[in-house]
A and B are shown apart, each in its own frame.
Chain A
């Protein structure tokens, strides 16, 4: 009898609705890949940690959990008055995979950038690498006090600098878009000393104009004396000839 109770039926349906296996599968949002500049302090900024003359490395880390990266390129801009790039190398992101080999960019310390570095998977690999890791690293020497952005600018059309990730779809390699770039910030302004250095005074150079004038005057005087003597001597000679 109790089975015919409508209340029992409603509660059964509710229980099924609440705890039953849902027929709709959840759709997980794709995470936007990120590329970040990471200092040894594990953040993307370094404040008052490095004096002039010291060197440090930054890792270019990638986080791409949902899309397989087939190839990548990284370039970087920096303040040439504060930093100079002394070395660079490949990270571990593609380690153990078949790759074309790391292509190192050109360091332009006079202009403050490094042209694109990169690497790409090759066959027999068929799919890109997902997850996180270090694409590459840069070593910088601190040459001055101030601040510098370590700027992973998106690739400009001429591909001289900039950062890009690519995926492989069928046999085509296409850029992953969008990607988020987290630049690094370097600042050591607070460590600047309120000192300086002495530069020796060149006392000879200081007196040079006065020494020059004196020599010129003495020389002029001597020339005049010699000239007068000569004129006098000639006249005497002429007198002697006359007589």
Chain B
């Protein structure tokens, strides 16, 4: 019946109907293509841009200390860990120890929310050549598919141990931008001890810690050897924690005892300079 009736239709009308049909098919294909583009775009944009929302977890101040031992994978020193833990425990601190494998980008992201009063970063660190940017090493192997937003914005970078040869393992390192933009929560007048190289050659990282609520950063002004940083840090902790000396006294006395690094001639120093008269006791009180 339909055929018969269609035969009756004029040729022009038939062509019109056919054209309409084709344009509908074309539109449908076009729309599905648009959907094909839009859906993956949304998915990838979400993947690239999504990151945990800033968390601000209120916490009471407790005399808590953390030893972040990223060096345990390359330069383990059980004597250092035991001695530092004893000094801190005798002063009433509860001590959390983080071995190398736990030191990841996510670990640094959430570091402030634990409410530590003192954080000892026994962590490799390095300044990028020709810049003032310091990277704190993680033990997380580098991947092109992880932390893409942070990589594109320079918050995390690729770092490697020295001497570096092509093909050596690569790791993620966190930059001061990461502290400013991606770290969750706030430090609570925390004292940060950066045991790695060049922690205070430039103050960008220390400034970022201070902006995130830390009170003072103590670190080296150049390269330092592993044995020397361990020795000097134990000396620093004795003066700072056991003897309750001021930041300035403790750093000076640690330097008198341990001396500058015999190989690299680096010195322990602190930032900001106006923290010179603080003691750990009044840091806890503030």
Other-chain residue from B41, B148, B170, B227 in contact with A206 (beta carbon distance below 8 A): B148
Contact status A192-B152, CB under 8 Å: no
Contact status B197-A198, CB under 8 Å: no
Query: Any chain A CB within 8 A of the CB of B40?
Result: yes
Note all chain A residues with C-beta closer than 8 A to B135.
Answer: 196, 198
Other-chain residue from B11, B30, B148, B224 in contact with A194 (beta carbon distance below 8 A): B224
Note all chain A residues with C-beta closer than 8 A to B15.
Answer: 239
Q: Please encode chain A, from 51 to 71, with 1 for each CB lying within 8 Å of some chain B CB and 0 for all others.
A: 111000000000000000000
Query: Any chain B CB within 8 A of the CB of A144?
Result: yes
Contact status B197-A193, CB under 8 Å: yes
Given contacts A197-B164, A206-B151, contact A191 B126 (CB under 8 A): no
- A131 → B minimal CB distance (Å): 39
Note all chain A residues with C-beta closer than 8 A to B148.
Answer: 206
Note all chain B residues with C-beta closer than 8 A to A51.
Answer: 263
Other-chain residue from A143, A201, A220, A228 in contact with B158 (beta carbon distance below 8 A): A201
Note all chain A residues with C-beta closer than 8 A to B22.
Answer: 228, 231-232, 235
Q: Please encode chain A, from 212 to 243, with 1 for each CB lying within 8 Å of some chain B CB and 0 for all others.
A: 01100110110011001001100100010001
- B194 → A minimal CB distance (Å): 10
Query: Any chain B CB within 8 A of the CB of A195?
Result: yes
- B127 → A minimal CB distance (Å): 8
Note all chain B residues with C-beta closer than 8 A to A40.
Answer: none
Contact status B137-A224, CB under 8 Å: no
How many Å lie between the Cα of A91 and that of B236 in the bound state? Answer: 49
Contact status B40-A198, CB under 8 Å: no
Query: Any chain A CB within 8 A of the CB of B226?
Result: yes
Query: Any chain B CB within 8 A of the CB of A48?
Result: yes
Contact status A190-B226, CB under 8 Å: yes
Contact status B170-A194, CB under 8 Å: no
The B209-230 residues at the A interface (CB cut-off 8 A) are 223-229
Query: Any chain A CB within 8 A of the CB of B144?
Result: yes
How many Å lie between the Cα of A195 and that of B124 in the bound state? Answer: 5
Contact status A196-B159, CB under 8 Å: yes
How many Å lie between the Cα of A10 and that of B19 in the bound state? Answer: 150
Contact status B40-A191, CB under 8 Å: no
How many Å lie between the Cα of A53 and that of B154 in the bound state? Answer: 31
Contact status A191-B173, CB under 8 Å: no
Query: Any chain B CB within 8 A of the CB of A157?
Result: no
Given contacts A190-B225, A193-B197, A193-B224, contact A143 B75 (CB under 8 A): no
Q: A206-B151, A217-B36, A221-B33 are in contact. List 14 more A-B contacts (CB 8 A).
A: A192-B225, A193-B224, A196-B125, A196-B162, A197-B129, A197-B161, A198-B126, A199-B157, A199-B158, A199-B159, A199-B160, A203-B152, A220-B36, A235-B18
Residues of A whose CB lies within 8 Å of any CB of B are: 48, 51-53, 143-144, 189-201, 203, 205-207, 210, 213-214, 217-218, 220-221, 224-225, 228, 231-232, 235, 239, 243
A–B complex contacts, Cβ < 8 Å, 7 sampled: A189-B227, A196-B197, A198-B158, A198-B159, A205-B144, A221-B37, A228-B29
